[in-house]
Amino acid sequence: MKTSHRSRRTIYRRRGIQTLELLFAVPILFALLGAALVYERMLIVESGVTQASIAGAREAGKGASVDEVTGVVNHVLAAYGVAINDRSGSIVVERGGDLAAACGEACAPATPPTGPQEVRVTVCVTLGAGKAAAKGPGILDSLASFLHGKRLCASSLVSQEGPRG
């Protein structure tokens, strides 16, 4: 079977167009993949902040001191590669309507105010500060730059138990 010169030229031209389409499509696909990875990391950290506030509230409800609550919160957040220090977030403990203590940058206490037998722990993490930044390959750090300075906050409310004894 003989192919004409004209049809062979058409095949080569089509291959050039396919290569050009690939050159345009691949960077867009990689950018979308990178954005999805950054978003996934942010959701994981948000889940960790919520879990840390629940664990901190549970300990505070048992009568733990602010230092003990801070230790529990940082222990939970360590599993997510996040630590709360003076720059990267805050922990606010409210007992019976009064602000018991705040650790790190102050964040606004949650509303409504707590009742007389309630304890609320609010954990806030600033993205892009200290260990709260999404750590990954350099390209992901540059994609995550739009998240720099954003805060993830979670509050948990529990009924206060009697003092530890």
pLDDT in tens, 41-52: 889 989 999 999
How do beta strands 98-104 and 118-126 pair? unpaired
How confident is the model at residue 4, as a pLDDT?
A: 56
Report the C-alpha gap between 6 and 76 in whole angstroms: 68
Q: Which of 56, 78, 50, 59 is nearest to 152 (CA)?
A: 50
As a whole number of angstroms, the distance between CA 105 and CA 92 comes to 10
Burial of 100 per CB tally in 10 Å (0-12, 13-18, 19+): middle
Structure confidence by residue, pLDDT tens digits, 104-131: 666 666 677 777 888 899 998 888 765 4
**72: pLDDT strictly greater than 90:** yes
pLDDT digits (tens, 9 = 90+) for 75-91: 999 998 888 877 778 88
The DSSP bridge pattern shows strands 98-104 and 151-159 to be unpaired
pTM comes to: 0.73
Q: In 10 A of CB 83, how many CB atoms?
A: 16
Of 32-41, 109-118, 134-143, the range with the lowest mean pLDDT is 134-143
Taking residue 116's Cβ as centre, other Cβ atoms within 10 Å add up to: 9
